[in-house]
Amino acid sequence: MAELNIIEKVIALEAVDLLKNLSAEQLSRIASIAKEARYTPGKVILGPETTLDALHVILEGAVSISRDGIELHVAHENEVLGSWALFDPEPMSVTAKTIEHTRVLTIGRDDFYDLLSDNTEITASIFAMLVKRFRQLVER
Amino acid sequence: MGRLREFWSRTFDVREGEALRTTFMALYLLLVLLAYYILKPVSRGMFLNKFDIDELPYLYIVIAAAGGVMAYFYTKLAIHSSLKTAVNVCTFGMIGTLVLIWHLLTYNWPWMIYLFNAFVSLFSITLVSQGWLVAANVFTTREAKRLYGLLGVSAVIGAAVGGSFTNVMVHYIGTRNLLLASAGFVLLAYGAFLGVTLQKGVSLSQAKGAEKEEEFSIKELTGAIGRVRHLQVIMGIIALTYIVDVTVEFQFNAMAKQAYTNQRELVAFLGNFYGIWLNLITFVLQFFLTAFVVSRFGVGGALQIMPVAIAGASVGTYLSPGVVSTGATRLTEAATRYSFNKTGMELLYLPLPIELRNRTKAFTDIFVDRFSRGVGGLLLIFLTGTLNLSVRQLSIVVFGYTIVWVFLSIRAKNEYVATVRKRLASRRLDLDSLRINVNEAGTMRLLQETTESSNPRQAVYALSLLGEASKYPLEKQLVKLVDSTFPEVRGKVYELAMQRGIRSLYENALAELRSSRFGDDAPVVKPAVEYALWVSSDTPDLAKRLLNHPNQLVARSALSALIAHPEASEPLITKEWIEEAAASKDTNRRVLAAIAIAVRGDAESRALHNLLQDPDPEVAGEACKTAAALQNRVYLDSLLRLLAKARMRGKAIDALAGYGERIVGTLGDVLLDTTSPSAVRRQIPRVLQRIPTQRSVDVLFQAYEEPDLMVRTAALKSLNSMRDKDVKLSFGRDSLTGFIGKEAQYYYEMAAALSPFKESRETPAARLLAQTLEERLRSTLERLFRLLGLKYPAKEMHAAYLALNRKKTDEYTAAIEFLDNILERELKRVLLPLLDEDARISQTGRDLFGVQEKDQRAALRELIKSGDSWLVACAVATAAELGLRDLRPEIEPLARKAGTDVVTVAKSALVTLA
C-alpha cells in the first residue's frame, strides 16, 4: 500500500480527540511531522516496559489493549494509542499489542514540541481543548 | 567669595551648559510668582474694603464654582494646543484681561470685584502651573532632580518680592494701579520665557499646553470610596482640610478688615502676609522639618501636626481675638498644609493601587478640593449668618473640626498600616511611584518586620524596598539577615550590601561558597560570588579558586563577575584558556568558554562562532548572551540561523534585539529576501518588535507586501504590538489603505471560491477544502481588523472585532454601527459589505473587484493556481474526489514539483483521474 499523502494524514488525524479544536490547515502541519509505521502481528507498540514518547493513530489493522494479561479492548482503524503520550512520559499501565498486520500514523513528542513552538495558535487550540476536558471532569 | 561659591555649587548643582537655561527658567518662575503675589493681596484687599465681611463666604462659593469651571475649560483647551501656544495665549490673555479689569474697576461695579477675585484664582491655575510645566519640559528628569530646588527657591523669592513690592508700592501708585504693575511683570516673565525657548536643546513643540489629568468616572470613584475604607478616610481629611482653610481665612480676613480700614494699608498688610511670611514659613517647614517629622513620627504624626497646631492657634484666637492671633492661625494652617499635610497625604495615597491612586488624585484636584471649599463657604454662611457667630466663637467651631480631624488622622494611620501590610503581602507596594523621598517610620518598621517573615518572597521584596530607602540604616538589618534560612534572602543581602558599599559580610560570603555543593543552584550563589570578589583584597587569587569550584554555578558566576575586575581576569583568562575550554567535550567547560569571551573579548578567535553552533542548547544559549554583550556584527549570521531552531529561538531573539537599531537594516534585508529560509524570515518581526524604532516600523510595513501569508501575519502582529506599546511611533501611511483593499479583495475571492462547496461536504477532501476556505475568511477578517487597528484606535478595533465574532445580535449591531461612524467612506464601502449576508458579499465582490461567482470546476481551477500550498493540496484532492478529469492539465505540473507535500497529493490524484 502506498504511503499516505498529506490530505489522507489530515483526515486520519481528525479522529484524535486531543486535536479536535484544530483547523484543517493546523492539522496539516501536524500531519507533516507524522510518520507511518507498519507492525506485524504480535508486536508490542506500547506497554509498561516501553518508553512512551509518541502518539499513534491506527490507520488499518487491530491492536489488543490488555492489563495483566486480560484483554480490555481491541482497537481498530481511527482509534488512538497513547493519547497523552505527547504530554506525559510516564509508562502506560496497559499493553498495546498488534493482533493483525497494522499500519499506524505516529507523532513523536520531540517533533511535536518543536512544532508547537513554531505554531503558537496550535498550542493555544490544544490548551483550549485540555481546559475544556478538565472543566468537564470537574463539573462531572 | 570662594566660600560662597563653594556653598552655592554644593547646594545647587548647576552643570556646564545648564546655566543660561536655568537662569531664564528661574527668572520666569520668579516673575510669574511676583505678579501673582501682587494680585492676590490686591484682589482680597479690594473685596474686604468694598464689602461687609458677611459677603466673604459668598466669594468662596463663587471662586470654588467659577474657578472650577474655568479650570476645566482651560485644561480641555490647553490639552489640545502646544505648550508654546498655551503660554503665548495665556500671557497676552492675562495681560489684556488685567488691563481691562484695571479699566473696569474705575466704574466701581461691585460684581467687578467678584470677577477680579475669580480671575486671580484662574491666574494661579494657568500661569503658575504653566511655569512648572515649562520647567518639566525644559529639563530632563535627572536635571530636574538637581535643579528643581533652585527653581523652588526662585519661586519663593518671587512670591516674597511680590508681597514686599505690593506692601511698598501700594502707597505710591495706589491699589488699582498695582494691576498694571502685575501685567508688566507678566510681560517681563514672557521675556524670560522667550529666553528659555532660545536656549540650545530646548524644544517645546511636542509639549502639550496642559498635563492630561487621569480620566475618572464620578460614579465609579464614589463607588470605590463607598467600598474602600482607606479612601473614605482620605476624602474625609481632604474635606476637613479645605473647610478649615476657608473658616480660618475668613477669621483672618475679618480681623484684618477690622484692623486696617484704609484699603492701601490693608493691601500692603496682605502683601506682606502672603508674599513674605506665609511663603518663608512654608519654605522653612518644607525644606528643613518635614522629612524629619515624617521619619520620626510617621504618616500619622505628619497628618496630626496640622490639626493639633490649628487647634492650639484657635485657642489663642479664642482667648485674644485679633489680627495677630488669627494671622498666626492662618499662617499655621497654610504653612502646615503645604508642608506636613501635603507630604502626609502623599504617603496616605501610597498603598493604593497606582491606577486608583491617580484617578483619586485627579478626582480630588478637580472636584473634592473645590467642592469642600464651597461647602466651607455654605457652612460659614450658616454659622455667621444664621447662628450669628463671631470670629471668637468661630474658633470654637474650628477647634471642633480639628478634634474630628485628629480622630480621622489616627484612623488614617491605622488604615495606612493595614493597607501597606496587605499590599506588601501581595508584593504590590510601589515605592518608586511615590513623589517624595522620605523614610516614613511606620512603613519602615513594617518592612523591617517583613524581612524576617516566613515567606521568602515577601521577605526579599521588603528587603529590596528597604534598600531603596536612602536614609534607612541597612547594615544592621543585613547582618541580621545574612544567616536567614532562605537562600533568596541571603542572596538579596549580598546584593544590597554591594550596592550600599557594606563590606562587613565577607566572611559570611566565603562560608556560603565553601558550603556550596555540586549542582546546587541556590539563588545565593551568584550574589555571594560577586560580593566576595568585590570585597576581597586579593581578587585574582580568590577568582582562581572559585573558577575551580566543584559547583558549576560558582565557577560561572565568578567568571561573569570578572567583567568588573579586569586586573584579575587578564592573567587568568587567556586566549589559549578560552580556546581549550571551547573545544572541550565537557559541556560546563564550553559554557565557561562562552562566558569568558564576554569577559575578555573575541579578538582573533573563532571560538564564539563554534559555540553559537554548539548542539547543546545551554552552550549555544550562553554564546548568544555573549554575542549580544559584544555587539559584534560578525555573529549576526549565526544568530539569524538560530531563529529557525525552536529551542534556541528565544535566546537568539534576545541577542539580536540587544544589538538595537543598528541592525534593523540587516534584519530588513533578510526579512524581505525571499531566498532566505522561511523559518528565519517569520521570526524576524519578533526581533524588530523588540527594537521599537520608526525604522523597524517601516521595515515591517515593507514586509506586509510579501506574498508569504505567515511572514505577512507575523509582520502585522509585530506592528500591532508595537503600536500598543509605543505611542510615539508613526503607523499612519497611505499604503495602509492599499493593504486593506488587497486583503478585502482576497476575502471576496475566498468567499467566491467557498460558495460552490458550502453544501457539498459529504466527501472528506471537499470538507477539508470548505473548512480551509472558511478559516481563510476568518484569518483575513482578523488581519483586516489588525490593519484597521494601525489606522484607528487599536483597542476599539479589537473590541469591534470580538463583538462581530461573538455574533450576538445587539453586540454585532453596535459594532457595525461603530464601524459605520468611524471608518473613512472608501473603507466603509469595501469593508462593511464583508460583514453582511452572503448574497451581498458576492454582489460587492463583483462590483468592486470583478470577482465572479463560480461553479466547483472553475473554483478548483483557480485554487490549484493560487500558490497557497495547503489550499492547492485540498483543491487537487477535491478534484480527484469529484472525478474532474478536465483538471488533469492543471494538476500534472504539480506532480513534478519536488519537495512539497502537494506532490504526493497530485500524484495520487492523477492516479485516481487516470
Residue B270's nearest CA partner among B31, B40, B36 is B40
Nearest to A78 by CA among A15, A8, A34: A15
3-class secondary-structure state, position A51 = coil
| Closest chain A residue by Cα to residue B643 | A118
- Residues B179 and B98 sit within 8 Å (Cβ to Cβ): yes
Strand, coil or helix: what is B583? Answer: coil
Banded pLDDT at B387 (limits 50, 70, 90): confident
Q: What is the pLDDT of residues B256-308, one digit of tens each?
A: 988 888 888 888 898 888 888 888 888 888 777 777 777 677 778 888 889 99
By mean pLDDT, which of B101-105, B125-129, B314-318 is the weakest? B125-129
Q: Cβ contacts of residue B155 below 8 Å, gap of 6+?
A: B29, B30, B33, B131
* Predicted local distance difference test score (pLDDT) of residue B187: 93
Residue A38 has phi, psi (to 5 degrees) of -120, 140
User: Would you say the C-alpha torsion A41, A47, A53, A56 has a positive or negative sign?
Assistant: positive
Mean pLDDT along residues B420-425: 69
For residue B733, with 0-12 CB atoms within 10 Å meaning exposed, 13-18 middle and 19 or more buried, which class applies? middle
Looking at the predicted structure, is the pLDDT value of residue B436 above 50? Answer: no
| Chain B contacts to A (CB-CB under 8 A) | 646-647, 649, 679, 764-765, 768, 771-772, 775, 870, 873-874, 877, 901, 904-905, 907-908
Confidence of residue B217 (pLDDT cuts 50, 70, 90): low
Residue B208: what pLDDT? 63
Nearest-CB residue to B772 (from A6, A24, A114): A24
**R_g of chain B computed on alpha carbons:** 37
Q: Phi/psi of residue A37, each to 5°? A: -140, 145
Q: What average pLDDT does the segment B622-650 reach?
A: 91
Specify the range with the lowest mean pLDDT, choosing from B417-421, B559-563, B572-576, B813-817: B417-421
Q: What is the mean pLDDT of residues B798-810?
A: 81
**Contact at CB, A32 and B646, closer than 8 angstroms:** no
- What tens digit of pLDDT does each residue of B122-181 get? 787 777 777 777 877 777 655 666 677 777 788 888 888 998 999 889 889 988 999 999
Interface test with B, best of A5, A29, A30, A120 (most B CBs within 10 A): A5
User: In this structure, are residues B895 and B880 in contact, taking their beta carbons and an 8 Å threshold?
Assistant: no
Contact list in A for residue B761 (CB cut-off 8 A) is none
**Residue pLDDT, tens place only, B620-629:** 999 999 999 8
Question: Is the full-model pTM beyond 0.90?
Answer: no
User: Using an 8 Å Cβ cutoff, are B534 and B558 in contact?
Assistant: no
The whole-angstrom separation of Cα A57 and Cα A104 is: 5
Say if CB B827 and CB B737 are below 8 A apart. Answer: yes
- The amino acid at B636: L
Separation CA B691–CA B664 (nearest Å): 8
> How much is the pLDDT for B83?
77
**Type of residue numbered B11:** T
A 19-48 residues with CB < 8 A to B:
23-25, 28, 32
Q: pLDDT-derived band of residue B506, with 50, 70 and 90 as boundaries?
A: very high
Instruction: Flag whether pLDDT at B434 surpasses 70.
Output: no
pLDDT of residue B435: 36
- Tens-digit pLDDT profile for residues B653-693: 999 999 999 999 999 999 999 888 888 999 999 999 999 89
* Residue B205 or B591, more confident: B591
Reported as a single tens digit per residue, the pLDDT across B742-788 is 999 999 999 999 988 887 666 888 989 999 999 999 999 999 999 99
Contact call for A7 and B646, based on CB within 8 A: no
Chain B CB contacts of A118 under 8 Å are 646, 679
pLDDT at B473: 84
H/E element, B689: helix B684-689
- Residue B896, pLDDT score: 82
Does A118 sit within 8 Å of B679, measured CB to CB? yes
B344 membership: H or E segment, kind and range: helix B342-349
Q: Looking at the predicted structure, is the pLDDT value of residue B323 above 60? A: yes
Sign of CA dihedral B80, B85, B88, B92: negative
pLDDT at B562 over 90: no
Residues B632-638 have a mean pLDDT of: 92
Measured between alpha carbons, how far is A130 from B643 in angstroms, rounded to an integer? 29
Inspect the interface and report whether the beta carbons of A10 and B768 lie closer than 8 Å.
yes
Residues from chain A that touch B679, judged by Cβ atoms under 8 A, are 118
Query: Which pLDDT score is estimated for B11?
Result: 59
Residue B206 pLDDT > 70, yes or no?
A: no
Chain A residues closer than 8 Å to B750 by CB: none
Considering only CB atoms, which chain A residues are within 8 Å of B647? 114, 117
Q: How confident is the model over B868-877, as a mean pLDDT?
A: 90
pLDDT of residue A106: 92
pLDDT at B432 exceeding the cut of 60: no
Q: pLDDT tier at B520 (50, 70, 90 boundaries)?
A: low
B588-622 confidence digits (pLDDT tens): 889 999 998 988 887 767 889 999 999 999 999 99
Secondary structure element (H or E) that encloses residue A67, with its range? strand A63-67
Q: For residues B747 and B753, what is the distance between their CA atoms, to the nearest angstrom? A: 10
Q: Which three cell numbers stand for residue B780?
A: 483575513
Distances (CA, A) of B595 to B571, B604, B628, B659: 16, 17, 12, 18
Res B438: pLDDT: 47
Mean pLDDT of chain B: 84
**Looking at the predicted structure, is the pLDDT value of residue B10 above 60?**
no
Residues of chain A short of pLDDT 70, as ranges, are: 1-2, 140
Strand order in the sheet with A63-67: A44-46, A95-98, A63-67, A70-75
Q: Which of B646, B771, B775 sits opposite A118 (nearest CB)?
A: B646
Specify the amino acid at residue A126: I
d(CA B885, CA A123): 39
Which contiguous run of DSSP H or E holds residue B46? Answer: helix B19-50
